[in-house]
Structure 1
Amino acid sequence: MKCRVVACVLILMGNASRVLPGELRAGAARVEVTPAKTDHLQIWGYDEPTQIQEGVHDPLHVRALVIDDGKKRAAVVACEVLLMTNLLWETASRRVSEEAGIPVENQMLIAVHTHGAPVLETNNGNKTVLTPYAQMVVHGIVDAVRQASGRLRPARAGFGTGRANVNINRRARMADGGYWLGYNPDGPSDKTVGVVRVEDLSGRPIAVLINYGVHGVVMGPGNRQITADLPGATSRFVEQQLGDPVVALWTSGAAGDQNPIHNDLDSDFEPVAAFGMLLGEEVLNVVRSIRASNRGDIRVMQRLVTCPGQRVAPGPLPRKTYEFLDADPVPIRLSLLMIGHTALAGVSGEVFTRVWERLKDQSPFAHLLMLTLCNGYSGYLPDDAAYKQISYEIAVSPVKKGCAENGIIDKLLAMMDQD
């Protein structure tokens, strides 16, 4: 396997020195984690893993951004994998703590949610273990953070937003009156493209953090090639336009109920590149409009919300009627990185649009992004109203109605108010 840089997101905090409190320094790195051999690997993204038959279409990366304010240090790392599984997060965060000196509680790791990356976990007897490929991802995370930390220099950061019509609500009404995966142009869908620009004091970009609510599923279950899909295409386009050594980190917004407007393809990658260019052009428009500042204290914290669990009774999906059984409680990890007047809110699951819209409306931060699939995996996290229409996401959600929406919003708002 080759080690260069992937897309998972990690936020780290530690001691800093040789910089006045409140003055920012930043560094970024990109490390590729693409398997050198694929004949023994499977793609993980749909109901069953599928054998990779046609090699690698495009490389997978881990991208890291490290920011330092003279008192604390934070790192954002985006990984081009399907999920930040609990085991992957636990392993990587421990390695970062041991090898980079960053406490586990001060880390935030995020997956970009491409459905074209290799399997991360396997069973060894009765125990779930990381695959050799996942171990390579862990190495990439540590390497990317180290490289970015070694490139710290005086910097400024700024926030901006744009719009792109690339996503659509995917909870569609079927001919039989039920709801399943499809296209629902009348459903909630946030078209906002969130951008954080980090530049040196001469104005040259160091890194761009991209945030958009959409599944990485332009390519469907018939695809047999490794791909970073839409997230990777967008990051690569922005990096190509801005030039080396700029690093463009993709983070998924509230994408739990959002798909690309054209998806489920088997072998035609042209729409992937087209959507990446469309989103990338809007990111660049926003980047050019941002006025950055070199001031801003960094705050980082994590909290847990635990919700009652559920599981759907055995049987084929979709179906006419559903029975849900009690299951183990589900912990949802919430993470918050605040840089001056900008806040990045992390959630360890696939959040529905309405939850994000409520948080945004109530937040004291005008500059706010939600980074999902962060620091573990808690499954689909719908808003309460969505449970009235049982779609794929509701059927497989491990969380009962009445907890996740208010639990996420109330806890994150309380975290934002803490000193």
Structure 2
Amino acid sequence: MNESAFQAGAARVDITPPLGTLINGDFITHYARFIHDPLYAKALVLQQGKTTLALVIVDICAMPKDLLDEVKIALQNETGLLPQQVLIASTHTHAAGSVASLLLGAADLPYRQKLPALLIESVKAALQHRRPAKIGFGAVDVPEHVVCRRFFMKEGYQALNPVTGGLDGVKTNPFGDEQQIDRRVAPVDPQVSFLAVKGLDDQWISVLANYSLHYVGDWENGTITADYFGVFSEEIGRLLQAGPGFVGMMSNGTSGEANIWDFLDPDRYPKAHFAKSELIGKDIAGKVANALQAIGWQEAPELSARYTEVAAGVRKPSAEELDAAKKLAAESQYETIQQVDRDALRRIYAREQVLLNDYPDTNLFPVQALQIGTGRIGALGAEFFAETGLKLKQNHQPYFTITMANGYIGYVPPAHEIERGGYETWRCRTSFLEPGAEEAIRTQLVELLKAEAERPVYSSYEIKQYER
């Protein structure tokens, strides 16, 4: 094998949690009672000369930065892969094992201890599968399946903010209040972007797609499923008639305010469990498969990676707010909460203020940019709105943003959306950065994407952490 030639390899490792494992992604904890389909850690490795990139997409809701930093350090020790050249991201299925504490959804410690070795195994297997390859980028619009879930409501509607006790200017997911909707707040990103990889023998290696659709969620609580991300991954392989070594992958784009619960047309999808995710995943796969017929291939793509961290201030409760939150938390019986009504929200977010108050005043936020031939991929460790992704796409094409990558701190809305309010902006451990953070992070990513990637970019924090 010519070591200077472009090579690629892909692999997947089963990470399905055992029954009884905690599930997060809701306001309260659920427990795995039924496994509908297996979950995977899927790795794609690209190598050109001495530069190797690894992209790992994991069927899980969210993975914190400290966990992924540990994985990257272990990978460096075992394989020599540099941490800044490894991208690890969650799909954001809300029906997976929990490794992060989100609201009242607790982390499952046994599963958290088990997961790192499985992620490492996926990358090592992909490295073993490397062979001469070619890559191509493409995109197709799929506007049917993604809508903004934030709404301006009709005059007189009261959208309660459980943190401030006041009223928001917008309402997220207005269940039961559909008749009070005025209009959607913002446009979404309808594009499915993708990176395709074939061997020089024209046998498929992998397709990594990216869509800004939050998740589908057409299952009963207690279910383990990869959601539409898994459906797409299986269907694209079938449509391409790919061999057993093919690895289909779907990553999450800038979907912080986007989902498929269409409150203006609630009956346009089938209601049965898994029917909607099957329909959407297969439809996206069909459109991507058609677009792949016109893709242009690159056999000697230059590879590079740049990584840094942005210091962003943390929003915290005032002394008065903290005192009130402590009193409410002290009288709340959280273990009895089953229905998340207005009173439950007040109590849940009171607890969040108490816990958030112990956070450091500054958060170091991971920002990564990969160059793969003529294409670029940005990676951000949180949930960003479509506005952020659309602005980033203005600077580079082909390009897409993978979110919930290299860490997870919750939502990072634009400053004007924080001012409007709504669920995604409520101050808590999953929405706590200062209003200017989105612009600062986006600006930094633009700079990385523009930069000549002759050598990796480190922050001083990363040098200390990764070289210890």
Q: TM-score range by the shorter chain?
A: 0.7 to 0.9
Shift of 1:262: 5.5
Q: CA deviation at 1:103?
A: 2.8
Q: 1:59-110 CA deviation, whole Å, 9 max, x = no partner? A: 1011111111112011111000111212321222122122222233332210
Match of 2:41 in 1: 62
Q: Secondary structure, in 3 states, of the residue corresponding to 2:137?
A: strand
How far does residue 177 in structure 1 lie from its aligned partner after superposition?
Answer: 4.8
- Deviation string, structure 1 residues 305-363 (Cα, Å, up to 9, x no partner): 111111465475878xx9999862222210111012110100011011111111221x2
Q: Specify the alignment match of 1:170 in structure 2.
A: 149
> Does structure 2 conserve the Cα–Cα contact (< 8 Å) formed by 1:167 and 1:213?
yes
Cα distance in 2 for partners of 1:98, 1:85 equals 21
1:120-175 alpha-carbon deviations (Å, 9 max, x no partner): 1479xxxx987222333222211111111111111111111001121111112346
Code of the residue aligned with 2:9 in structure 1: it is G
Give the superposition deviation at 1:58: 0.9
Per-residue CA deviations over 1:373-393 (Å, capped at 9, x if unaligned) read 010112211112212320100
1:19 counterpart = 2:3? yes
TM-score by length of 1: 0.85
What pairs up with 1:17-416 in 2 under 5 angstroms?
18-20=2-4, 23-35=5-17, 37-38=18-19, 40-53=20-33, 55-121=34-100, 131-164=109-142, 165-174=144-153, 176-178=157-159, 179-182=170-173, 185=184, 187-219=186-218, 222-242=220-240, 243=242, 244-261=244-261, 268-311=273-316, 313=321, 314=325, 328-361=361-394, 363=395, 365-396=396-427, 397-404=431-438, 406-416=439-449
| Local SS of the residue matching 1:386 | helix
Q: SS at 1:48's partner residue?
A: coil
Q: Is the 8 A contact 2:63 2:100 kept in 1?
A: no
For residues 444 and 141 of structure 2, the distance between their equivalents in structure 1, rounded to whole angstroms, comes to: 28
SS of the residue corresponding to residue 15 of structure 2 reads strand
Structure-2 separation of matches of 1:92 and 1:266: 39
What amino acid is aligned across from residue 334 of structure 1 in structure 2?
A: V
- Are residues 390 and 271 of structure 1, via their aligned partners in 2, closer, same or farther at CA, if it must alter by over 3 Å? same
Query: Is the partner of 1:117 in helix, strand or coil?
Result: coil
Read off the aligned partner of 1:114 and give its amino acid letter. T
Sort the Cα spacing of 1:211 and 1:186 in 2 relative to 1 into closer, same or farther, 3 A. same
Tell me the CA shift for residue 418 of structure 1. 2.4
Deviation beyond 6 Å, 4+ runs, structure 1:
263-267, 322-327
Counterpart secondary structure, 1:272? helix
C-alpha RMSD of the superposition: 2.8
Q: Report the TM-score when normalising by structure 2.
A: 0.77
Give structure 1 stretches of 5+ with no counterpart. Answer: 1-16
Contact 1:114 1:216 in 2 (8 A): yes
Q: Deviations over 1:261-282 (max 9, x none)?
A: 4699997111111111111111
One-letter amino acid of the structure 2 residue matched with residue 417 of structure 1: K
Q: 1:240 to 1:311 in 2, by over 3 A?
A: farther
**CA radius of gyration, larger in:** 2
Amino acid of the residue matched to residue 381 of structure 1? V
Q: Is the 8 A contact 1:122 1:131 kept in 2?
A: no
Residue 177 of structure 2 is matched in structure 1 by none
Q: 1:12 maps to which residue?
A: none
In structure 1, what is the Cα distance between the partners aligned to 2:344 and 2:283?
34
The alpha carbon displacement at 1:212 in A equals 0.5
Distance in 2 of aligned mates of 1:287 and 1:342: 15
Is 323-332 or 155-164 further displaced after alignment? 323-332
Q: Check whether the contact 1:218–1:260 (CA below 8 A) recurs between aligned residues.
A: no
The residue type equivalent to 1:102 in the other structure is L
Q: Which runs of 5+ in 2 are unaligned?
A: 160-169, 175-182, 329-342, 453-468
Distance 2:66 2:364 in 1: 14
Farther off after superposition, 253-262 or 368-377: 253-262
Letter in 2 for 1:408: I
| Deviations, residues 271-314 of structure 1 (Å, cap 9, x unaligned) | 11111111111121222221111122111111111111114654
Cα separation, partners in 2 of 1:174 and 1:185, compared to 1, 3 Å: closer
- Larger proportion of helix: 2
Q: Render the CA deviation track for 1:29-72: whole Å, top value 9, x for unaligned.
A: 1111113x30x31221111111223x201110111111111120
Aligned partners of 1:343, 1:198: CA distance in 2, in Å?
15
Could you tell me how far apart the structure 1 residues matched to 2:39 and 2:72 are? 20
Contact conserved, 1:160 with 1:287, CA < 8 A, in 2?
yes
Letter in structure 1 aligned against 2:3: V
Letter in 2 for 1:91: E
Q: Give the number of equivalent residue pairs.
A: 388
